[in-house]
Structure 1
Amino acid sequence: MTMARRMILGAVVLLLAGCERPAPWTAFVYPDADTLTVSAEIGRFETFEQCRAGAVKTLAAFGRVGVGAYECGRACRYDRGAGLAVCAETRD
């Protein structure tokens, strides 16, 4: 394989590696910030900012701003053993 072909192949591999979509953010809303055992998953979003906006909008729609809470998690999966969603990263 010539040097030029190796360079082209390397560039293609790097480009394809960069095309992977980032894991989505999942919004969890808690109607009562003091009772975090009661929650609702309201959807998945491409960015944290979209997740936060969706969670705040949901709390406002139900009159729970200042009373409820929210959390956005990235790359979440349901853990049957724990009985809850486990996320690679969470923010509120």
Structure 2
Amino acid sequence: MRSTQQFSVTLPNEMADEVRAKVASGVYASESEVIRDGLRALKARDRAIEGWLNGIALPAYDAYRVDPSRGIAIDDIRNELADRHGQIADRD
């Protein structure tokens, strides 16, 4: 039994050019390797997001539901972000 399956994939011209460029540069031996590596990266990103959701976001939400006084008002968040943005803009 085969351990691989063949697919036909249609890509926008820009993406197809990127795949060909990766192969032409020698970074990858074939277009299939480029696609496989992209799918591995996608799986890694999905695992990272799932880990963040389960390890940080959901526990924080659960803690907030138990004690809403621990939350931060949206206006305070906006002001903090505006201050940080201003500091970064001042550096540039």
TM class by shorter chain equals 0.3 to 0.5
Q: TM-score, normalised by structure 1?
A: 0.33
Q: TM-score, normalised by structure 2?
A: 0.33
The structure carrying a bigger strand percent of its residues is: 1
The structure carrying a bigger helix percent of its residues is: 2
Higher relative contact order (CA 8 A, sep 6+): 1
